[in-house]
Amino acid sequence: MRRIRLTLSYDGTGFHGWQKQPGLATIQGTLEQAVSEIEGAPVHVAGSGRTDAGVHAVAQVAAISIENPIPLPNLKKALNRLLPCAIRVLAVADAPLDFHPRYHALAKTYEYRIVRTEVCSPFERQYAYHHPYPLDTARMLELAPLLEGEHDFTVFAASDERDALGLSKVRTIFRSELEEVDGRLIYRVRGSGFLKHMVRNIVGTLLEAGKGNLDSEGLKALLRSRGRAGCGPTAPARGLFLISVEYQM
C-alpha cells in the first residue's frame, strides 16, 4: 500500500464544497471518482479541511492510499486527464503511511478578496466580493491585527455537526492583516486551524468596523464573549481562497 500526498488547486464556483455529498458535485467526490478509476477500486480522499461551497483553493492538500504501482509523474498526468478543468493536481509525492493532511497540518493561510471599485470586472465576479460602498478602511486595517494570538473563536464560528462533541474552539492566529491595493482590499490570515465560516465571519466583522459599527474595544469584547452573537454577517464564499497548508515534513 502506498500513501500519496496531493497538492490541488480548484475553482470552487461549480461545486458544493469539499465534502462528498450524495447527488451533488463536490471536490472530494470528484477526486475520489478519478482516483478510484485509476485504482480499480473505491479510494477515500482525505483533505486538510472542508472548504465551503464556492470557496477556492490555490494549494489544498489531500492524501490517498492506493496499491497501483503507477509512477508519480504518470499518476499526476492521469488524474489531470480524468478531472474537470476546474480541479488541477499541481504536485504528487510519497508520504508516510500514517500521513493525514488535516491532523498533521501545522498552519493554514487563507486570503479574502474584496473589490472596491464602482464596477467589478466580469472576470473577477466569481473570485471576489464586490463592495463599492463607503468604508473606513483605516479602521479595518487597524483592527485586523487584534485577532492575532490564541483566542476562543466561538463568536466567529458557524454551527457545525461536530459541536455535539464539545471540541475546543481555541485557535492560534499567527498573522492577521488587511492590505489595500489598486481598488481592492486583501485580507490574509495564517493560523493553526480554522472553524466553520471563521474567516468569512471575520471579514464580515471587519466590514462592520469599516461601516462604523465596531471599534477596537468592541472587537476585543467579541473575542472575550465566547458566544455566538455579535459578529458581522458572513461574507460571501466566492471571495475566499485557501492559499497554503504547512507541514513539518
The total number of residues shown for the chain amounts to 249
* C-alpha cell belonging to residue 182: 489598486
Instruction: State the pLDDT at residue 24.
Output: 94
pLDDT digits (tens, 9 = 90+) for 126-154: 999 999 999 999 999 999 999 999 999 99
What does the pLDDT read at residue 137?
Answer: 96
Tens digits of residue pLDDT in 9-34: 999 999 999 999 999 999 999 999 99
Q: CA-to-CA distance for 214 and 100, rounded, in angstroms?
A: 39
Q: Where in the chain are all domains bearing CATH 3.30.70.580?
A: 2-95
Instruction: Output the nine-digit C-alpha cell for 107.
Output: 498552519
Residue 88 parent element (H or E): strand 87-95
Tell me: pLDDT of 101 over 90.
Answer: yes
The answer as to CATH 1.10.8.640 being correct for domain 2-95 is no
CB-count exposure of residue 180 (10 Å: 0-12, 13-18, 19+): middle
Looking at residue 228, what is its pLDDT? Answer: 66
Chain region(s) in the chain for CATH 3.30.70.660: 107-246
Q: Which amino acid is at 170?
A: V
CA angle 169, 111, 46 (to 5 degrees): 60
The pLDDT of residue 166 is above 70: no
- Give the residue carrying C-alpha cell 477500486: 41
With pLDDT > 70 as the criterion, what percentage of the chain qualifies? 96
Just list the catalytic residues.
52
Q: Which CATH class is domain 107-246?
A: alpha beta
Query: Which residues lie below 8 Å from residue 66, measured CB to CB, with a gap of 6+?
Result: 1, 2, 4, 35, 38, 39, 43
Q: For 73-77, which contacts have Cβ atoms below 8 Å and span 24 or more sequence positions?
A: 75/4, 75/38
Q: Is the pLDDT of residue 163 over 90?
A: no
User: Which residue from 146, 151, 211, 220 is spatially nearest to 178, judged by alpha carbons?
Assistant: 146
Does this model's pTM top 0.75? My answer is: yes
DSSP annotation of 130 reads E
Among residues 55, 62, 113, the alpha carbon closest in space to that of 92 is found at: 62
Question: 187 pairs with which residues across the strands?
Answer: 112, 178
Give the Å distances, CA to CA, from 12 to 104, 125, 244: 24, 13, 16
